[in-house]
């Protein structure tokens, strides 16, 4: 299901505290998604490197959907609530 996009093609731009813009190229066009991370969600992950969390979350979401189907905004809390395998996957990474 996931698009064949290299991990090093993920462009992450910090936009302020807990907010990042992620640009992922696809064959058709670049896909831009805002990621929002709360301190509570980061605490649940036991993580403090926000950019790393964003990159790992993008990789995780690619296993569940095509890049072209990414929503405009991804709230980390929504990912935690929606995917039972997210927290275990993040603990393994």
Give 57-86 pLDDT, tens digit per residue: 999 999 999 999 999 999 999 999 999 999
H-type alpha helices, the chain: 39-45, 50-62, 76-82, 86-92
Instruction: Give 26-57 pLDDT, tens digit per residue.
Output: 888 999 999 999 999 999 999 989 999 999 99
Q: What angle do CA 14, 78, 84 make, to 5 degrees?
A: 120
Single pTM value for the model: 0.89
| Cα distance from N-terminal residue to C-terminal residue, the chain | 21
């Amino acid at each position: 299901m996931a698009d064949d996009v290299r991990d090093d093609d993920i462009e992450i731009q910090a936009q302020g505290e807990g907010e990042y813009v992620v640009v992922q190229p696809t064959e058709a066009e670049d896909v831009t998604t805002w990621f929002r991370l709360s301190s509570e969600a980061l605490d649940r992950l036991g993580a403090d490197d926000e950019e790393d969390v964003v990159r790992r979350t993008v990789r995780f979401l690619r296993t569940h959907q095509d890049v072209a189907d990414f929503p405009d905004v991804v709230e980390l809390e929504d990912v935690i609530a929606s995917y039972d395998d997210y927290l275990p996957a993040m603990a393994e990474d």
